[in-house]
Every structure is written in C-alpha cells, then in structure tokens.
C-alpha cells in the first residue's frame, strides 16, 4: 500500500507554541463568525462534513495524537476548507487557559478516550472541572453535543450534566445529528463506523447553556484537604 505524503498547511494548522494569552478566534480565522470546537478530532471526518455543510461557521479542531493531527491538517488543506483550523494540544489545558470567555457556540465531543480502568477515570475529559471551563467559554445560547460508545463514560457524562441541570446552569436539549451522519448512523465519524461493525451502541446526550453563573463545581475527594 502506498501512503500519500502529508502536507503541512500553515493556514490550517495553529501551533500551540505560538499562542500568547487568550486565543482571538476572529484573528485566527480572519473573520468574525460562530465558533464550533471539536475536542478529539481524530482524522477530521466530522470537521470536513460540517465545514462543507456550514460555510458560515468557524470550526476549531483539537487533537493530541500527532499522527491524527497531521492527517487532519492535510485533509482540510486538500479540501481547500477556509473555515477550519486545527491545533495539537491537550484539550483540557487549552480550554481552561487559552479560550476566551463567551467565545464558543458549540462544543462537539465524540467518542473521547473512555479510560476504562477505574484508576484512570480522572483522566477523562468530560468531568465537573472541565465542564466549568466549558461553561465559561460558551456564548449565551451555547451548546454541548456528546457521543460515546462506552456505557460507563456515558453514565459519567449524564451525571455531570445532571448536576448542571439541577442547579440551573444548563438545560437538556436534543442531540444535534451531524451533517456527515449517513443512514443508520448517529454521528458519522470513523470511530462510530468502526464500533457499529463491532456491534457497539452509540450513546448521546446534549445540553444548552441556561445560566453559567449558577454552576457550582461539586466538592470532590481530591479537593478535600
């Protein structure tokens, strides 16, 4: 099998080391438009479909695995997509420390690493601490769209959002089916297609911001001295 040479499209790739303070999305994209962020973009299947279907939206993809990040950058560049940017970074650190307040219209989180062993659960991205950062970044009508094949992680997602619903910080909404989802698919990513062949179920949940000032992060064991 012959593999194509991956190209580094400087107009698509945003280098973490070049970030100085909070990211200015209007400057990064060269225009002001609604911003959608995908955490864990993989090879960019979701981003390609969404960016083509919604040219008036700016899509910002975050991927930690270098081989997937490079593939996604190459893919976006070859498609000539002007409304997508990619960065290789730790998503929790990036959102917490470098995203501006009230700047993101939707967070897309599809099939994140479930870290199935109990001792590794603290590494899962979707948790109370990271939800607090997400809420800070969301615009007044901002949304969170989640999907996973891992039932235990889905239960954690449900618990975290349940606390946001209970305090009035967020309200439930229907899952937004991505443009690239084909017949029988919920999300339309490579991971979902792989998992469907293995007979795995896809679990989804979504929420919209109600009042971010009402969110109070629960006290966890590791916070107690």
Based on C-alpha coordinates, what's the Rg of the chain?
A: 17
**CB atoms inside a 10 Å sphere around CB 148:** 28
Query: Which SS3 state, helix, strand or coil, does residue 219 take?
Result: coil
E strands present in the chain: 13-14, 35-39, 58-62, 84-87, 104-110, 138-148, 170-173, 203-209
Sheet with strand 203-209: strands edge to edge: 13-14, 84-87, 58-62, 35-39, 104-110, 138-148, 203-209, 170-173
How many helices and strands (H and E) does the chain possess? 7, 8
CB 121 within 8 A of CB 50: no
Helix, strand, coil content of the chain in percent (nearest 5): 40, 20, 40
Between CA 67 and CA 65 the distance in angstroms is 6
Between CA 39 and CA 131 the distance in angstroms is 13
Is 152 among the catalytic positions?
A: no
Q: Looking at 74, 90, 113, 222, which residue is catalytic?
A: 113
Q: Which residues are catalytic?
A: 113
């Amino acid at each position: 099998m012959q593999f194509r040479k991956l190209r580094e499209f400087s107009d698509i790739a945003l280098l973490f080391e070049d970030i100085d303070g909070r990211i200015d999305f209007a400057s990064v994209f060269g225009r002001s438009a609604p911003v959608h962020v995908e955490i864990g973009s993989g090879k960019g299947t979701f981003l390609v479909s969404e960016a083509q279907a919604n040219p008036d939206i700016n899509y910002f993809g975050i991927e930690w695995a270098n081989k997937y990040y490079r593939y996604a950058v190459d893919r976006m560049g070859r498609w000539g997509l002007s409304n997508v940017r990619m960065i290789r970074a730790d998503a929790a650190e990036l959102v917490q420390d470098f995203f501006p307040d009230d700047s993101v219209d939707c967070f897309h989180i599809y099939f994140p690493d479930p870290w199935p062993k109990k001792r590794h659960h603290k590494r899962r991205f979707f948790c109370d601490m990271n939800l607090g950062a997400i809420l800070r970044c969301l615009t007044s009508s901002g949304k969170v769209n989640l999907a996973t094949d891992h039932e235990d992680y889905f239960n954690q997602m449900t618990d975290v959002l349940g606390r946001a619903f209970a305090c009035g910080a967020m309200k439930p909404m229907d899952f937004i089916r991505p443009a690239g989802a084909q017949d029988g698919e919920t999300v339309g990513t490579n991971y979902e297609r792989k998992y469907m062949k293995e007979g795995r179920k896809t679990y989804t949940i979504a929420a919209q911001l109600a009042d971010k000032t009402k969110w109070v992060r629960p006290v966890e064991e590791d916070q107690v001295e």
